[in-house]
Structure 1
Amino acid sequence: MKPSDPLDALRLMAWLSPGYPVGAYAYSHGLEWAVEAGDVRDEASLAAWLGDVCERGALRNDLILAAEAHRLARSADGVALGALNDLALALAPSRELHLETSQQGRSFLDATLIAWPCAPLSGLAGHLPGPVAYPVAVGVAGGAHGMASGPVLSAYGLAFVQNLVSAALRAAPVGQTAGTRVVAALAPRIAALAEAADVSDLDALGSATFRLDLGSFRHETQYSRIFRS
């Protein structure tokens, strides 16, 4: 695998920026219900909620899945990649969270195939014809492009948190300065999660954010909402 270079860094910033056409702005990963329920009401509660999502919920699983997709891309194992994607989609605990990961993943893969084409990614994409879990899409794209896995995982984790902080700025009584402090405080934890995920296997998958999962079901019928999850 080639070492990291400036082009890889620019590619990652483009792929995981708010401007990449995946529709991340439309999803809050249950945060909107958490605000409605009073679980997130200020900077401190937002930081605590996000910390749990990162270390005990979806982000940890996403990083493990992205790392495995990266490895399968490097070995060009499309059959195993398809099975991994099925597993990743099955891990979504609600209809809305399934939509969140599958819509973003499909959009990410399609946009990347068009804007950043490469033969290995085109070949592997044939094993992902339908819905694609977002971490699988990012991991396979990074691996197919020969990018180092560590930066891919760290960038994915940071983008995940930044998107939810952006959602909090719209849904919760949290300002931009507070949101920036939350991102800065969580950055070292994201880096540690990415490092651990890079050497983990699928047996390490698991989460314990039951209130968030139940909240995502309640969000489906929430009276007033601006997000799709």
Structure 2
Amino acid sequence: MIDALRLMAWLSPTYPVGAFAYSHGLEWAVECGDVCDAATLADWLADVLERGAGRNDMILCACAHRAVGIADELAGINDLALALAPSRELHLETSQQGRSFLDATLHAWPSAALTEMAARLDGPVAYPVAVGAAAGAHGVAREATVAAYGLAFVQNLVSAALRVAPVGQSAGTVLLAALTPRIAALAGPCCEADADALGSATLRLDLGSFRHETQYSRIFRS
């Protein structure tokens, strides 16, 4: 029970990681018309989850969880995770949240294993790596961590959509409910995957993240 509550707290919108400031390219997708209603948002979210950063982040989270206690391996996973960010904005998105998550968790949920792990990650930290490593250090089950991370990833994008896209709260809730079984289906394979399974096919999102930084009017940092 305590592990489930810990994950709920860590991945809550109120946890001080600044997730509300990022849209992972969604703001540009709305600007250029790729996302214009609930149906196009559903397609966009499914692609990001299953063919883009959602799946990759879940794999990286699992890899970091397994690497707790193996300092060089954990540092290597973090370096890879940061290198996979295709643009400056998406690099900032993952590294700022990762650093904030690790610092907040060290302060509120200290442990010897977490302190030792954090000492090896004293620079930029990718968000999924920070979550996976913290969960591993606290003995939280890997599959539960990966599934919870995937759900939080999608929840944040739905929250961003409510602020920037012509989609209401009821439609957003329906979309989240529809994607939850797909998150659960991804969690198992991602939990057992290694870095060789990483890969994405969301090139329009990646290119859009470059264009977002020069977008005339915007409310998100990515």
Q: Partner residue of 2:62?
A: 67
Inter-partner Cα distance in structure 1 for 2:191 and 2:162: 31
Inter-partner Cα distance in structure 1 for 2:106 and 2:72: 19
Q: Which residue identity lines up with residue 191 of structure 1 in the other structure?
A: A
Q: Partner residue of 2:31?
A: 36
Q: Partner residue of 1:153?
A: 146
Q: TM-score, normalised by structure 2?
A: 0.99
Q: Partner residue of 1:15?
A: 10
Aligned partner (choices 88, 108, 116) of residue 95 of structure 1: 88
Inter-partner Cα distance in structure 1 for 2:185 and 2:97: 25
Q: Which runs of 5+ in 2 are unaligned?
A: none
Inter-partner Cα distance in structure 1 for 2:150 and 2:192: 16
* Deviation string, structure 1 residues 103-125 (Cα, Å, up to 9, x no partner): 00000000000000011010011
State the aligned residue count.
222
Q: Partner residue of 2:119?
A: 126
Task: Specify the SS of the correspondent of 2:196.
Answer: helix
Cα deviation for residue 192 of structure 1 reads: 1.1
Q: Partner residue of 2:211?
A: 218
Q: Which residue identity lines up with residue 44 of structure 2 in the other structure?
A: W
Cα deviation for residue 85 of structure 1 reads: 0.4
Q: Partner residue of 1:57?
A: 52
Q: Partner residue of 1:3?
A: none
Q: TM-score, normalised by structure 1?
A: 0.96
* Deviation string, structure 1 residues 45-89 (Cα, Å, up to 9, x no partner): 11100000001000110011000100011xx10111111100000
Q: Which residue identity lines up with residue 111 of structure 1 in the other structure?
A: A
Asked if residue 107 in structure 1 is aligned to residue 72 in structure 2, the reply is: no
Q: Which residue identity lines up with residue 175 of structure 1 in the other structure?
A: G
- Percent sequence identity over aligned pairs: 74
Inter-partner Cα distance in structure 1 for 2:24 and 2:131: 18
* Deviation string, structure 1 residues 134-162 (Cα, Å, up to 9, x no partner): 00000000000001011101110000000
Inter-partner Cα distance in structure 2 for 1:147 and 1:162: 21
Q: Which residue identity lines up with residue 219 of structure 1 in the other structure?
A: H
Q: Partner residue of 2:136?
A: 143
Asked if residue 26 in structure 1 is aligned to residue 17 in structure 2, the reply is: no
Q: Partner residue of 2:41?
A: 46
Q: Which runs of 5+ in 1 are unaligned?
A: 1-5
Q: Which residue identity lines up with residue 57 of structure 2 in the other structure?
A: D
Q: Partner residue of 2:194?
A: 201
C-alpha root-mean-square deviation of aligned residues, in Å? 0.5
Task: Specify the SS of the correspondent of 2:214.
Answer: coil
